[in-house]
A = this chain, B = another copy of it.
């Protein structure tokens, strides 16, 4: 068996760990930064762990692609795999901790006007106290109750919110961090009672434009929106209107319809929009990278023994 590992963030410890598992299952491994470095003798490799989109498109021999991302929308179009039977796993489950920390950070930054205070401080100005809002007594709705939504709900709970309501496709989630979990069809009912809408949805036909202009209008005056899932979930043009009118107190977006956000996007200029460049779940955090590698190795053992892969993507659902 031949395995390609493409990841420029891996540390010595990760490489050792992968090497040892490969040895045990009798596989050869090539480590590289990206697809341009793959040597000829690995061009017909069985397994690729990393962003191997070009390889998946060309190689009929590739039997399993494991991507280090949670989202796999970019692999759902026809023609992405030369081998139609190629297995696809993702790393959903590795990002909950880091993305939840981002969500708490940006929520508090908005509620406490931290960006304005920081801008004053950059100018050497000692600002005046400003109105503050709080996660305490806040009605939080978490759209998407996967690993990320659950990790966020757990942390948000400690701030004594009025309620943490999950919303998911099934309406089923037994995580105790949620007071209740609703079906996506019940979303319109909860939006008027939402002070903070936290979105961590994958990109699927069902999630596209889920926060439409009509639904933005259902959010109460002075509410906040955080999105760390996929940009396609929000009508960006409508969001801009609701931010500029002040209907929304603020929004924090880490994901956008087009990334990088184009230089001439009007979004850059909106004062109450906190823009981060898709970094909520970057791989620099040790914990994230450790978990990412562990999840691959867990499935590598499964693969070698002919067992079902644990982190397999459901191509019908798209995540």
Interface residues of A (CB under 8 A from B): 97-98, 101-102, 104-106, 108-109, 111-112, 114-115, 117-122, 124, 126-137, 154-155, 157-160, 259-261, 263, 268, 274-277, 279, 282-287
Residue of B nearest to A107 (CB): B105
Residue of B nearest to A283 (CB): B129
Residues from chain B with a CB closer than 8 A to the CB of A132 are: 98, 279, 282, 284-285
Asked whether, in the complex, the Cβ of B121 is within 8 Å of the Cβ of A114, the reply is: no
3 closest A-B pairs (Cβ-Cβ)?
A158-B158, A129-B282, A126-B260
Given A136-B287, A276-B117, A287-B136: A263 in contact with B124 (beta carbons within 8 A)? yes
Q: How far is the CB of A103 from the nearest CB of chain B, in Å? A: 10
Asked whether, in the complex, the Cβ of A118 is within 8 Å of the Cβ of B115, the reply is: yes
Asked whether, in the complex, the Cβ of A112 is within 8 Å of the Cβ of B117, the reply is: no
Given A109-B114, A115-B118, A117-B276: A131 in contact with B97 (beta carbons within 8 A)? no
Asked whether, in the complex, the Cβ of B129 is within 8 Å of the Cβ of A279, the reply is: yes
Asked whether, in the complex, the Cβ of B285 is within 8 Å of the Cβ of A124, the reply is: no
27 contacts between A and B (CB under 8 A): A97-B136, A98-B134, A101-B108, A101-B112, A101-B134, A101-B135, A104-B108, A105-B109, A105-B112, A108-B108, A109-B114, A118-B274, A120-B277, A121-B274, A121-B275, A126-B277, A127-B277, A127-B279, A129-B282, A129-B283, A130-B282, A132-B282, A132-B284, A134-B285, A134-B286, A137-B287, A158-B158
Residues from chain B with a CB closer than 8 A to the CB of A136 are: 97, 101, 287
CA distance A268 to B120 in the complex (A): 10
Asked whether, in the complex, the Cβ of A102 is within 8 Å of the Cβ of B109, the reply is: no
Asked whether, in the complex, the Cβ of B279 is within 8 Å of the Cβ of A117, the reply is: yes
Asked whether, in the complex, the Cβ of B122 is within 8 Å of the Cβ of A279, the reply is: no
Residues from chain B with a CB closer than 8 A to the CB of A276 are: 114, 117, 121
Residues from chain B with a CB closer than 8 A to the CB of A134 are: 97-98, 101, 285-287
Residues from chain B with a CB closer than 8 A to the CB of A261 are: 126
Residue of B nearest to A105 (CB): B108
Asked whether, in the complex, the Cβ of A97 is within 8 Å of the Cβ of B282, the reply is: no
Within 8 Å by CB of A277, from B117, B282, B284, lies: B117
CA distance A115 to B116 in the complex (A): 11
